């Protein structure tokens, strides 16, 4: 496991926490503003063949210091999360842990697991993508993809049931396998708790929507957040949350501050540290690490990041007191130039742990 030595920074005394509005300001003297501006210009000038960037927001020490919006997009445009929703789902689970309503080390209360080898799967296994369940996370080949079948095919009406019904092919806890199905199982598990076991889809949807709004979105001022639900009333936590780039910035900022907002500890102490503790490394370049439904950037100390299918990123960098949000439509095969530009932005901000 990755050992953490980067605490989440406290709120700067001279910067009010964003509530209904973000603070904005110029770069501090220790920031290479020219490098930031050059990288943002390069993102704006990206050739069409390398996809399109729709929104970029950079938050440093509590203030928005840079923004960029693409075609037909502005600060009020809501955009899809895709898999950034996985990190939101994990945060919802964290709230339930803080309420004492969920023990992540207990066997997951999933009906499809009962009486089978799956009964050994814990919520911690699910959060770490180590359930042992079969799931092919492919976004192109519908002949092999469980993800496409779940989102758009036979599984779309009850996505958690589809995923939970797949066979167990590894002992729980032994093999890492990135799976949108796993996240939707977690989302239904959360829905079971907040809806107090109700089975009516509308009751479940209303209960979960209310919980997300009152316990997460409202407290951090994420006013544009719009989660989507399947026919069974389960939040499609793997993929379907809409919000503005600024509001995704608020979500990242909550974790940047260790789960605190406006003096209140919304997430249980230690939850953010748990989320960014590495349990696996992706098998594909650039070899991002993985924690609990959050990615980890290997070159950035203490980082955690929400990633989405089309180049969506909410990158949380406690060592730099920085959050960078990018939303767009950037295919994976042309992603490296975008990542290089984002790293150039990030590298322009000072790292507390840097040594000369």
Does 2 score more than 70 pLDDT?
Answer: no
| Distance (Å, whole) CA 116 – CA 113 | 6
Q: Give residue-wise pLDDT tens across range 10-69.
A: 998 888 888 778 999 999 999 999 999 999 999 999 999 999 999 999 999 999 999 999
Q: Within the chain, where are the H helices?
A: 33-44, 84-98, 123-127, 146-152, 159-164, 180-194, 201-212, 245-256, 271-275, 335-347
What's the confidence (pLDDT) of residue 131? Answer: 98
Question: What would the pLDDT profile of 260-307 be if each residue is shown by its tens digit?
Answer: 998 899 999 999 999 999 999 998 899 999 999 999 999 999 999 999
Band of residue 3 on the pLDDT scale cut at 50, 70, 90 = very low
The pLDDT, as a whole number, for residue 30 is: 97
- The pLDDT score that the predictor gives to residue 354 is 58
Pull the structure tokens for residue 300. 């950035």
**Looking at residues 208-235, what average pLDDT do you find?**
98
Same fold, 23-82+235-347 and 84-222: yes
54 three-class SS: strand
pLDDT digits (tens, 9 = 90+) for 94-112: 999 999 999 999 999 999 9
Handedness of CA 344, 349, 353, 356 (dihedral sign): positive
Instruction: Count other C-beta atoms under 10 Å from residue 100's C-beta.
Output: 8
**Residue pLDDT, tens place only, 114-158:** 999 999 999 999 999 999 999 999 887 878 899 999 999 999 999
Picking from 181, 169, 176, the residue whose alpha carbon sits closest to that of residue 281 is 176
> What is the per-residue pLDDT for 16?
83
pTM score, two decimals?
Answer: 0.96
Q: Given this model, what pLDDT does residue 214 score? A: 98
Q: Which pLDDT does position 353 carry in this prediction?
A: 63
| Span 277-287, pLDDT tens digits | 999 999 889 99
User: What does the domain layout of the chain look like in residue ranges?
Assistant: 23-82+235-347, 84-222
In sequence order, the 6+-apart residues with CB closer than 8 A to the CB of 347 are 35
The CATH number of the domain covering residues in 23-82+235-347: 3.40.710.10
pLDDT for residue 17: 81
CATH architecture, range 84-222: 3-Layer(aba) Sandwich (3.40)
Q: What is the pLDDT of residues 302-328, one digit of tens each?
A: 999 999 999 999 999 999 999 999 999
In this predicted model, what pLDDT tens digit does every residue of 166-212 receive, in sequence order? Answer: 999 999 999 999 999 999 999 999 999 999 999 999 999 999 999 99
What is the pLDDT, as a whole number, of residue 4?
Answer: 62
Structure tokens at 140: 């192109």
């Amino acid at each position: 496991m990755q050992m953490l030595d980067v605490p989440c920074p406290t709120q700067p005394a001279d910067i009010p926490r964003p509530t209904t509005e973000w603070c904005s300001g110029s770069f501090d003297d220790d920031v290479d503003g020219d490098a930031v501006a050059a990288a943002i210009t390069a993102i704006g000038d990206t050739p069409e063949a390398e996809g399109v960037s729709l929104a970029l927001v950079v938050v440093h020490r509590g203030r928005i210091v840079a923004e960029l919006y693409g075609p037909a997009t502005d600060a009020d445009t809501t955009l899809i999360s895709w898999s950034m929703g996985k990190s939101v789902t994990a945060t919802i689970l964290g709230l339930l842990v803080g309420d004492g309503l969920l023990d992540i080390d207990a066997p997951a209360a999933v009906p499809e697991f009962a009486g089978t080898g799956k009964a050994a799967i814990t919520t911690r296994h699910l959060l770490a993508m180590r359930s042992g369940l079969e799931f092919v996370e492919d976004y192109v080949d519908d002949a092999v993809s469980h993800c496409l079948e779940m989102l758009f095919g036979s599984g779309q009406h009850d996505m958690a049931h589809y995923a939970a019904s797949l066979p167990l092919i590894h002992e729980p806890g032994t093999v890492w396998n990135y799976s949108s199905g796993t996240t939707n199982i977690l989302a239904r598990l959360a829905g079971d708790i907040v809806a107090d076991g109700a089975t009516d889809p509308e009751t479940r949807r209303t209960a979960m929507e209310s919980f997300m709004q009152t316990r997460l979105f409202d407290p951090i001022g994420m006013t544009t957040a719009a989660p989507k639900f399947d026919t069974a009333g389960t939040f499609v936590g793997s993929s379907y949350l809409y919000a503005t780039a600024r509001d995704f910035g608020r979500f990242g900022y909550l974790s940047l501050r260790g789960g605190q907002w406006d003096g209140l500890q919304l997430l249980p102490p230690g939850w953010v540290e748990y989320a960014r503790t590495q349990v696996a490394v992706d098998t594909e370049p650039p070899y991002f690490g993985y924690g609990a439904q959050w990615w980890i950037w290997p070159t950035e100390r203490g980082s955690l990041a929400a990633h989405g299918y089309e180049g969506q990123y909410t990158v949380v960098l406690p060592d730099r007191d920085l959050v960078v949000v990018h939303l767009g439509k950037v295919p994976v095969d042309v992603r490296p130039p975008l990542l290089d530009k984002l790293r150039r932005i990030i590298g322009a901000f000072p790292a507390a742990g840097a040594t000369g």
